Chain A
Amino acid sequence: MAARAVSSGLPLAVLTAWVLVRYRFPGRSLLNALVHLPMVLPPVVTGWLLLIIFGVRGPIGVLLYDWFGVRLVFTTAGASLACAAMTFPVMVRAVRLSLETADPAFEQAARTLGAGRLDRLFNVTLPLASPGILVGGIVGYATCLGEFGAVITFAANIPGQTQTLPLAIYTALQVPGGEAKAAELSMVSVTLALVGLLLSEWVGKRINTALGR
């Protein structure tokens, strides 16, 4: 579920970050604010907004259901969507930071060597921003695993389908004698977070060494 959230959210995050860094257009501030909204809003509100938009009677949800028979609410896909929405700002920020530090001088050089816009994006800009993109992905993945409010609001708490780690811990705590299970799950959570952070640090360092920075 988290993997799905990251793999679908990351390319969009890269695109958004690129647009925000490279282009000045009316509504840029609004886009920027929208992207960062889930980070500032209470997660439950994000979940509720998703419910309004992507619910079976929401403006997008109804289209998805009528045309493709896809229902997002209370499904694994829905949980992924909620996770993606929550981690999106984190990923955009990470990617944006590395795009901003990526020197446009290299793009200029690529232009004089005959590389067009997409050619430059894929062969020069994105590879140079890859540390930020990977770090964004890893941190996004770790954040996904810990999503609570938005998921429970939008996709409920269905074990094995839409249940994230904190949801499972919360559920365990509601059952008498569930403390042991909660402790166990909490340890898993701590380990995953730690591994995620260390991994992102290590990967970032490796790539930067390869790039000679």
Chain B
Amino acid sequence: MSLALRLRHRFPSVQIDIAFDTPTPGVTVLFGPSGAGKSTVIAAVAGLLRPDTCRVEVDGQVIADTEAGIWLPPERRRIGMVFQDARLFPHMSVATNLRFGARRSAPGPVQFDEVVDLLGIGALLARRPHTLSGGERQRVAIGRALLAQPRLLLMDEPLASLDSARKAEILPYLTRLKTALRLPVIYVTHALDEVAQLADSLVLIEAGRVMGSGSVSEIAARTDLPLAQRDDAGALVLCRIMAHDVARELTRLEGGGAAFWVPLLDAPLQEERRIRIPAREVILAGKPPDAISVHNIVPGTIRRVTAEAARRSMLVEIALPSGVLLSRVTPDAVARLGLSPGAGILALIKSTSIEVLGS
């Protein structure tokens, strides 16, 4: 099942020409600087903006196709939308807001109590929107969109107006929603932490064009794409909790065809976790060192070595059986170890420098 989109639109200042195809259900994140055309995509899919040409297909259903003359108004699309500024109706209580879309749609799989529970908004139902905090407002807005039984959910920088504390408060709810409701989601952001936490697929957009699209772990590690060129470049690995070693205060995760030890997590076995391994924290070694504090010595094969002239460093892509790691080292290290594509290598990663997300 997939979500396929093709859109062309000419603005006075920029020409938008975007196409991608991502698997569903799952979260497709459109990532890029402001003005790149991300919000145009969202507005077009919602039907709030009519581009020159646009075709959207979700799981075989054509939602819009300007060339075939299929263009429904937003109110007839059954596409949920969460705006950056929540847009709760100020003259209604939280409960009435939540039921606004539900009243106007056929019954569906999304249950009122389930959504209220998932988003933790049970205590807010009688309140008025202006008495809510920014994070609470956004949670209610998400609930309102879900209860309209959408076939696709659009989120336009839903966390952009929140400070980092509020953001941290909301992200776990989004992660829960993702697994609880198997709904295709298009999520627009320019914040990397949201990508790391939520994205299944990633579409990089710049100046109205798609720079690259694919699974999040693949795109994050592609050294030819802007994500890996940032100072905080790193690899994302989708893992599962496999063992807790309480005595040593360590937890073992497996993902990407490798195992990773991290400081003990307070979470049940088999639960899914994403880990982020910053490229500058990964040491490369030709043979296993002994008497070393590092817990993770992960074997892999060098896939690509890219020079980063501005930083006087090189970025090494290391292929794991089913994943990728990134390591940022000096040109001297590359020369000394003779690092070149195809060579086997050991990646040394301190357990404390692995960021476990969504916990």
Contacts and interface: CB of A to CB of B under 8 A. Distances in A.
B83 A105 contact: yes
B312 interface: no
Nearest to B154: A112
Contact of B48 (A111, A114, A128, A211): A111
A213 interface: yes
B148 interface: yes
A210 interface: yes
B130 A211 contact: yes
A105 B74 CA distance: 13
The interface residues of chain A, by DSSP majority, are classed as helix
Nearest to B100: A113
Contacts of A114: 75-76, 78, 101, 104-105, 148
B81 A109 contact: yes
Interface string A104-134: 0110111111111001000010011010000
Interface in B104-123: 104-105
B80 interface: yes
B90 A213 contact: yes
Contacts of A127: 91
Report, as a range, how many residues of chain A touch the other chain.
Answer: 20 to 34
Given A105-B83, A108-B48, A212-B131, A113 B145 contact: yes
Contacts of A124: 89
Nearest to A212: B130
B246 to A, nearest CB: 48
Nearest to B80: A112
A40 B28 CA distance: 59
Interface string B29-44: 0000000000000000
Nearest to B77: A112
Interface in A85-110: 105-106, 108-110
Contact of A211 (B73, B75, B78, B91): B91
Given A111-B75, A113-B148, 14 more contacts: A105-B83, A106-B87, A109-B89, A110-B100, A112-B46, A112-B148, A113-B75, A114-B76, A115-B104, A116-B75, A211-B90, A212-B90, A212-B130, A213-B130
Interface of B: 46-48, 73-81, 83, 85, 87, 89-91, 100-101, 104-105, 128-131, 144-145, 148
14 contacts: A108-B74, A108-B87, A109-B87, A110-B100, A112-B46, A112-B79, A112-B148, A113-B80, A113-B104, A127-B91, A128-B89, A128-B90, A211-B91, A212-B130
Interface of A: 105-106, 108-116, 119, 124, 127-128, 130, 210-213
